[in-house]
Structure 1
Amino acid sequence: MLRLRDETFDPANPAAYNLYLLAGPTRLYLTAVDVERQKFVALEEYILGPGGVPALAAQHDFLALRGWNAVRLAVTGRAFTLLPASLFRPGDEAAALRLHHTPTPTETIRHTTHPSQELVNVFAADTALANWLGATHGATGRLVHHTSALLAGLVHQRGAAAPRRLYLNPGQQELTLVVLGQHLEYCNVFPCSTAEDVVYYTILVMQELGLDPDQDDVTVWGEFTPDSAVFSLLRTYVRNVKFGARPGNVHYSYRLNDVFEYRYFDLFSLHFA
């Protein structure tokens, strides 16, 4: 469990903050941003037990508080699809997602629009989690897929003239790969449990998209560490691998200096989603 809080953070005044949550199958990551100062002032990580986020919120000191300036909750997983905005019509969510994923009885289907990218993200989320967000945070709460946060953060960080590049974001038993040039060229989430999985899917995507493992840069965020077996194996096959930085044009409490800068990129990127 991780719990880092700036001494200025006052959850008793939630209207002064945005609350961002990233929910995986077994963990919840959260951060809070001081709206006036545009500064991340809290970073926490929890293992989820029975009952998931709603059960954790019932025991947490501020997760169930109402009155935040904004609340964004991202869900991980492979149950999503990205569509051109021009081809999407409200009400088509189930049909669009069914091409890739069959929703279970405990799932609800939602969508998020990305006007700047002319995309719509259709995804499945746990119904109990979605209901908790709505009941607890009402109109201030927004449910998104974590790829929406990741893409928003990448677009924000890259700028308009950035070169075509592959980005890796490993999470809980999954690996998200994104190729961005002038436009989004590729985004997918793969099941991933070993170092060999990471290398296999990375090389596969590079080959399919015409990227050269000996020449093209690959940027990594997420769960890797520089001395991990995964990173060592990846560098054996991909020459130019580097760790990414946190999203820019915002501030971070010195308390967050205790974690690597390439961690929690998709969580921080909820600020731009």
Structure 2
Amino acid sequence: MPATSASAVSPAAPSALLRLRDETFDPTNLGAYNLYLLVAPARLCLAVADVERRKFVALEEYTLPTGGLPALAEQHDVLGQRGWNAVRLAVTGRAFTLLPAPLFRAGDEAAALRLHHTPTATETVRHTTHPGQELVNVFAADAAVADWLAVTHGAAGRLLHHTSAFLVGLVHQRGAAAPRRLYLSPGPQELTLVVMGQHLEYCNVFACTTAEDVVYYTILVMQELSLDPDLDEVTVWGELTPDSTVFSLLRTYVRNVRFGPRPADVQYSYRLNDVFEYRYFDLFSLHFA
């Protein structure tokens, strides 16, 4: 995937898998921007949005070094800098559970999550509310990442699970009259699946290592929720290409498969034109979280 020209890249930044920066991005005026981070076990995706113009002006991706996010931040020119308007950090993983808001009580996070996941000594348990859907997302996050966010960015920082970002993006994208539909997002070793009609009906993250795994869980969820692979449309975001084995196999078993667009009601720098529009949906959706 193309990167920016050398003039658009800070020489102080670590080696990136992807770094796209609009020439209007001004690192000396961080208060004009929101910083969005998506942290997986081995990588970090980063986006910057101009608050006033409602425009994404940077998109970057890195392999995490030994020491994880805090170590990468020490090498990066803006990641560890204070003064952003807002910082939203989403963690990936299967260690989460969604609860109806009326049934949730603050302080019960660990007990609620323990039904699905036993937190390790290096994890902290947090929650995020979804007022419009009357849901609470309880999740585990790496304690070192949570501590880095709190120490570095203070009150400007907010920690979420990536499914919260994905759901917020879907609600924003769909509109009130959208039909019942299955949405999926393959990521590194994981597959996020959501079924949404008038309300959220299903949300889960499966461990996936092959294209066959992705198709298996997609068909399984469709069967369990009475969706028809020959009739019902499936919308795909995530880390795949139109000629990938995953997409080809999906089209073999699901008749109506389409790629989803980027979140609407926000602009994107022309430097992002070479990135597939269905990539980084949950990262961009942090703008609405």
1:198-209 matched pairs, under 5 angstroms = 198-209=214-225
Aligned to 1:220: 236
When normalised by structure 1's length, the TM-score is 1.00
CA contact (8 A) 1:72 1:144 kept: yes
Aligned to 2:106: 90
1:137 aligned onto 2:153: yes
Name which of 27, 32, 44 aligns with 2:60. 44
Name which of 10, 21, 24 aligns with 2:40. 24
Aligned to 1:153: 169
Alpha-carbon offset, residue 258 of structure 1: 1.2
1:154-169 matched pairs, under 5 angstroms = 154-169=170-185
Aligned to 2:7: none
Aligned to 1:182: 198
Structure 1 stretches lacking a partner, 5+ long: none
Per the alignment, in what secondary structure is the counterpart of residue 273 of structure 2?
A: helix
Aligned to 1:230: 246
Structure 2 stretches lacking a partner, 5+ long: 1-16
Could you tell me how far apart the structure 2 residues matched to 1:49 and 1:223 are? 21
Name which of 137, 142, 163 aligns with 1:121. 137
Per the alignment, in what secondary structure is the counterpart of residue 154 of structure 2?
A: helix
1:8 aligned onto 2:24: yes
Alpha-carbon offset, residue 11 of structure 1: 1.4
Provide the aligned C-alpha RMSD in A. Answer: 0.4
Aligned to 2:188: 172
Alpha-carbon offset, residue 49 of structure 1: 1.5
Q: Which amino acid aligns with 1:203?
A: I
CA contact (8 A) 1:4 1:43 kept: yes
Aligned to 2:128: 112
Could you tell me how far apart the structure 2 residues matched to 1:228 and 1:108 are? 36
Could you tell me how far apart the structure 2 residues matched to 1:219 and 1:194 are? 19
1:195 aligned onto 2:211: yes
Percent identity, please: 82
Could you tell me how far apart the structure 1 residues matched to 2:96 and 2:275 are? 29
Aligned to 1:67: 83
CA contact (8 A) 1:19 1:72 kept: yes
1:249 aligned onto 2:261: no
Size of the aligned set, in residue pairs, is 273
Could you tell me how far apart the structure 1 residues matched to 2:206 and 2:28 are? 40
CA contact (8 A) 1:25 1:172 kept: no
Structure 1 stretches of 4+ moved >3 Å: none
Could you report, residue by residue, the CA deviation over 1:63-103 in whole angstroms, capped at 9, with x for unpaired residues? 01001000000000000000000000000000100000000
When normalised by structure 2's length, the TM-score is 0.94
Aligned to 1:57: 73
Alpha-carbon offset, residue 224 of structure 1: 1.2
